[in-house]
């Protein structure tokens, strides 16, 4: 299976979520992370986790190589660029599940409508694929903005998955070359639970159960 994290906006948690999902999925089989973002944040981070990765930022190469990689690995996790580009189109043309992280702010919510349009176009061309879902990232618990964002995203007609809350341990993880699954402390454990819920729900969407 090929699971991608896509959004036209940077800084919404694509790389953080992609690395954590790759680490989480290794319990279920062999996994490869594909970094298609020019900043190469996820591939730099994942080197310290001893997980295989590949940097592919050329859209034609990406389109050709993703099916081949899906034959070699149980799971391929793609960290998409922070733009609506030919690379994004190539990812959506090949992935089985597109996950869209979004921060609970007015500008982020507005910009997410464009990536959703890209996804709908891909679904029309591919007979309903990729499956797709959204989730709020870097959110603050108990805020009115969070509640308003959840309500707005529910109106998109895409499943809204578990929220990933803003925690310092998530910001610290890349520098430590670790994931929250490997870190100690209450905050890391809570963040790990958030990701566990998000990833389980993601697989439910992929398998048609959500």
Give Cα separations from 59 to 8, 35, 63 (angstroms).
Answer: 15, 12, 6
- Ranking 4-13, 46-55, 174-183, 201-210 by mean pLDDT, the lowest is 4-13
Range of the domain at 175: 2-206
- Check pLDDT > 70 for residue 18: yes
- Check pLDDT > 80 for residue 20: yes
pLDDT reported for residue 23: 96
- Check pLDDT > 90 for residue 41: no
- The count of other CB atoms within 10 Å of the CB of residue 209 is 8
- Check pLDDT > 80 for residue 48: yes
Based on the structure, what is the number of domains in the chain? 1
Give Cα separations from 20 to 42, 90, 93, 141 (angstroms).
Answer: 10, 23, 23, 21
pLDDT reported for residue 39: 81
Report yes or no: 95 and 78 within 8 Å, Cβ to Cβ.
yes
**pLDDT tier at 6 (50, 70, 90 boundaries)?**
very high
pLDDT reported for residue 28: 87
- Mean pLDDT (whole number) for 66-94: 94
Q: Of the ranges 36-45, 80-89, 93-102, which is most confident?
A: 93-102
- Check pLDDT > 90 for residue 105: no
pLDDT reported for residue 10: 67
Strand order across the beta sheet in which 31-35 lies: 53-55, 31-35, 75-79, 2-5, 97-102, 131-136
Short-list 206, 174, 173, 210, CA closest to 191: 173
pLDDT reported for residue 37: 86
- Check pLDDT > 90 for residue 139: no
CATH code where residue 20 lies: 3.40.50.300
Point out which residues pair with 132 in neighbouring strands.
Answer: 98
d(CA 109, CA 123): 21
pLDDT reported for residue 147: 81
């Amino acid at each position: 299976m090929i699971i991608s994290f896509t959004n036209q906006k940077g800084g919404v948690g694509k790389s953080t979520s992609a690395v954590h999902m790759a680490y989480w999925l290794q319990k279920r089989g062999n996994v490869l992370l594909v970094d298609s973002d020019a900043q190469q944040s996820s591939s730099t981070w994942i080197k310290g986790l001893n997980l295989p990765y590949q940097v592919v930022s050329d859209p034609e190469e990406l389109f050709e190589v993703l099916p081949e990689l899906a034959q070699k690995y149980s799971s391929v996790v793609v960290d998409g660029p922070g733009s609506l580009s030919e690379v994004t189109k190539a990812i959506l043309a090949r992935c089985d599940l597109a996950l869209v992280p979004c921060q609970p702010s007015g500008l982020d919510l507005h910009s997410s409508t464009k990536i959703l349009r890209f996804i709908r176009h891909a679904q029309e061309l591919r007979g309903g694929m990729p499956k797709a879902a959204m989730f709020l990232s870097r959110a603050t618990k108990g805020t009115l903005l969070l509640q308003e964002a959840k309500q707005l995203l529910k109106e998109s007609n895409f499943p809204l998955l578990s929220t990933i809350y803003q925690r310092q341990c998530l910001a610290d993880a890349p520098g430590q070359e670790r994931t929250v699954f490997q870190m100690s402390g209450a905050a890391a454990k809570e963040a790990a639970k958030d990701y566990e819920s998000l990833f389980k729900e993601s697989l439910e969407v992929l398998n048609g159960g959500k």
